[in-house]
Amino acid sequence: MQKRQLGNSALEVSALGLGCMGMSAVYGPAADKQAMIGLIHAAVDRGVTFFDTAEAYGPFINETLVGEALATFKGKVVVATKFGFEIDLETGKRGSGLNSRPEHIRAVADAALKRLRVEAIDLFYQHRVDPAVPIEDVAGAVKELIAQGTVRHVGVSEASAATVRRAHAVQRVTAVQSEYSLFYRGPELELLPTLEELGIGFVPFSPLVAGFLTGTMDMDTRFESSDFRSQVPRLAPEALKANMVLVDLLRAVAQRKGATPAQIALAWLLAQKPWVVPIPGTTKLHRLEENIGAAAVELTSEDLGHIHAVASQVTVQGARLPEAVLKMTGH
Q: Is the pLDDT of residue 59 over 50?
A: yes
Provide mean pLDDT across the span 82-91. Answer: 96
- Summary mean pLDDT of the chain: 95
Contacts of 118 (CB under 8 A, 6+ apart): 67, 74, 79
Per-residue pLDDT tens over the stretch 122-144: 999 999 999 999 999 999 999 99
Residue spans per domain, the chain: 3-208+273-297
pLDDT tier at 331, thresholds 50, 70, 90: very low
Triad 309, 315, 321: Cα angle to 5°: 125
Q: Which residues are catalytic?
A: 57
Domain 3-208+273-297 sits in CATH 3.40.50.300: no
The reported pLDDT for the residue numbered 323 is: 79
Is this prediction's pTM over 0.75? Answer: yes
pLDDT tier at 329, thresholds 50, 70, 90: low
Q: Is the pLDDT of residue 220 over 50?
A: yes
The reported pLDDT for the residue numbered 221 is: 87
pLDDT tier at 328, thresholds 50, 70, 90: low
Provide mean pLDDT across the span 108-133. Answer: 98
The reported pLDDT for the residue numbered 321 is: 80
Contacts of 298 (CB under 8 A, 6+ apart): 267
